[in-house]
């Protein structure tokens, strides 16, 4: 494989608008589904928050392209456990994308030694009237759980 095939790259940007996201985890009884209204700024804010957090807790973080896939790998310390994660991301980010993640925990975290999940996202169209970028609509949430805005939530963590 050539050096350019595995070089660090910038993260792809999702098409602005409304995305439906389904998270499948074999440890959960059913997929968790939500809609997210996004734009380029929202994606940048989310990526920046992750980068800031990782600098404090991770000894390794990488994001690179291998052929048609993007690969994200990290080794972080969380609650005394070393969390090693690898995600493979495929898709075109204008219509759909998929993220498959495998994680190990050493020593086990909350009784888990490993976990896996798959995120499937598809573009729905423009955000709904009254929505602003960062609004998250959880479909599987308990009745009465309100929509929240991810940008507002991340601001609280930065304080």
**Would you report the helix, strand and coil content of the chain in percent, each value rounded to 5?**
20, 50, 30
> Can you give the pLDDT at residue 145?
63
Residue 86 belongs to a domain: yes
Residue 25 belongs to a domain: yes
pLDDT 10s digit of each residue in the chain, 159 long? 333 344 557 788 899 999 999 999 888 888 889 999 999 888 887 776 655 556 678 999 999 999 999 999 999 999 899 999 999 999 999 999 999 999 999 999 989 999 999 999 999 999 999 889 999 888 766 666 677 887 777 666 555
Boundaries of domain holding 86: 3-149
Residue 91 belongs to a domain: yes
Residue 12 belongs to a domain: yes
Residue 154 belongs to a domain: no
Residue 157 belongs to a domain: no
Q: pLDDT digit string (tens) for 17-51?
A: 999 999 998 888 888 899 999 998 888 877 766 55
Residue 155 belongs to a domain: no
Token pair for residue 38?
């996004």
Residue 17 belongs to a domain: yes
Number of domains in the chain: 1
Using alpha carbons only, give the angle 83, 110, 154 rounded to the nearest 5 degrees.
65
């Amino acid at each position: 494989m050539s050096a350019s095939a595995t070089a660090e790259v910038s993260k792809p940007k999702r098409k602005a608008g409304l995305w439906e996201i389904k998270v499948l985890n074999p440890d959960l009884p059913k997929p968790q589904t939500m809609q997210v209204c996004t734009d380029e700024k929202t994606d940048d804010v989310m990526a920046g928050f992750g980068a800031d957090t990782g600098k404090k807790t991770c000894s390794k973080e990488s994001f690179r392209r291998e052929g048609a896939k993007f690969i994200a790998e990290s080794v972080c310390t969380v609650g005394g456990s070393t969390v090693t994660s690898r995600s493979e991301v495929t898709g075109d980010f204008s219509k759909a994308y998929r993220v498959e993640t495998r994680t190990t925990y050493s020593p086990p975290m909350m009784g888990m030694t490993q976990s896996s999940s798959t995120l499937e996202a598809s573009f729905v169209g423009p955000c709904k009237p009254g929505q602003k970028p960062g609004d998250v609509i959880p479909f599987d949430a308990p009745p009465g759980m309100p929509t929240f805005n991810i940008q507002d939530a991340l601001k609280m963590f930065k304080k």
